[in-house]
Amino acid sequence: MTATELRLSLPQGLTSFIISVMAATGKILGFACNSKNQQIRTAIRAVLGRVKARTPRAWKRILEKIQRFEVRKMADGDLGEWISEYDGPSMSEVAKICFAAKTAAEIRAALLMEAKFEDRTQWPGIVRLCPTIARTADYAVATVAHEIGHAAATAKDMQHRNAPDQEWASEAAADRYAYLWGFGREIRSRIETRSLGHHGPARGQCIEWEGKYYRLNRRFSYEEITEAEFRK
Ligand SMILES: [Zn+2]
């Protein structure tokens, strides 16, 4: 039923109420979202609009990958999460299995597992967002851009981060997309919510890791630096 048909068949007050509810909970650029919070919906719309306009290839990927946006309470300190349906082993588990494989059958299974791991970024999933991100427009936009960045990232994107840790590669790849879409200011504005251990350094920050020193450079790649540069 269209809005005009609705208008013709119902009293006016009820019609405008139904139309406003439809507008408040409908899809956002084709993506389902369970929240009526206008701050969050506006942020999702703004980020999706930029992805579509600036990175058509990433837009194609997220159309295939993001099943919906789900706004619900999360654990303390968590603002958002990209929940991929990938159900395979982690990189260290794959390495362990490959190392231990002896028989032809074991080697075949290990190679299959490795291929599945290489393909993990192509799996669909959902973007989960915590309602607390609605506290400011910048918070909402930064979180949405970062989580959509996770969905947009490919295995190659992660490799190019040259990160000493897989989790940090994924975080840097997500932030890189948020910057590409023009949300660098918003990402910087929520820097105090970062945990160095979980997210790795922010752009321009340095870190010491297993006796080596790194800087996350402007292209969101980990660059090895000297101890003197680190201490500067
Ligand atoms: Zn992240």
Three-state secondary structure readout of the chain: CCHHHHHHHCCHHHHHHHHHHHHHHCCECCEEECCCCHHHHHHHHHHHHHHHHHCHHHHHHHHHHEEEEEECCCCCCCCEEEEECCCCCCHHHHHHHHHHCCCHHHHHHHHHHHHHHHCHHHCCEEEEECHHHHHCHHHHHHHHHHHHHHHHCCHHHHHCCCCCCHHHHHHHHHHHHHHHCCCHHHHHHCHHHCCHHHHCCCCCCEEEECCEEEEECCCCCEEEECHHHHHC
Report CA(20)–ligand 1 centroid distance (Å).
33
Report CA(221)–ligand 1 centroid distance (Å).
16
In tens, the pLDDT along 119-162 reads 888 899 999 999 999 999 999 999 999 999 999 999 999 999 99
Rounded Cα gap, residues 195 and 144, in angstroms: 18
For residue 72, count CB atoms less than 10 angstroms from its CB and return exposed for 0-12, middle for 13-18, buried for 19 or more.
exposed
In tens, the pLDDT along 163-176 reads 999 899 999 999 99
> pTM for this one?
0.83
Looking at residue 213, its amino acid is Y
Instruction: List CB contacts of 164: < 8 A, sequence separation 6 or more.
Output: 209, 210, 212, 214, 222
Report CA(200)–ligand 1 centroid distance (Å).
10
Report CA(137)–ligand 1 centroid distance (Å).
19
Report CA(173)–ligand 1 centroid distance (Å).
9
Residues, Cβ < 5 Å to ion ligand 1: 171, 174
Looking at residue 83, its amino acid is I
In tens, the pLDDT along 93-125 reads 888 989 999 999 999 999 998 988 888 888 999
In tens, the pLDDT along 58-94 reads 999 999 999 999 999 999 888 999 999 988 888 888 8
Instruction: List CB contacts of 93: < 8 A, sequence separation 6 or more.
Output: none
Which residue bears the tokens 């290839």? 57
Residues 69/32, Cβ–Cβ less than 8 Å: yes
pLDDT of residue 77: 82
In tens, the pLDDT along 171-230 reads 999 999 999 999 999 999 888 777 787 788 899 999 999 999 999 999 999 999 999 999
Report CA(171)–ligand 1 centroid distance (Å).
5
- What are the structural domain ranges in the chain? 31-85+123-193, 88-119
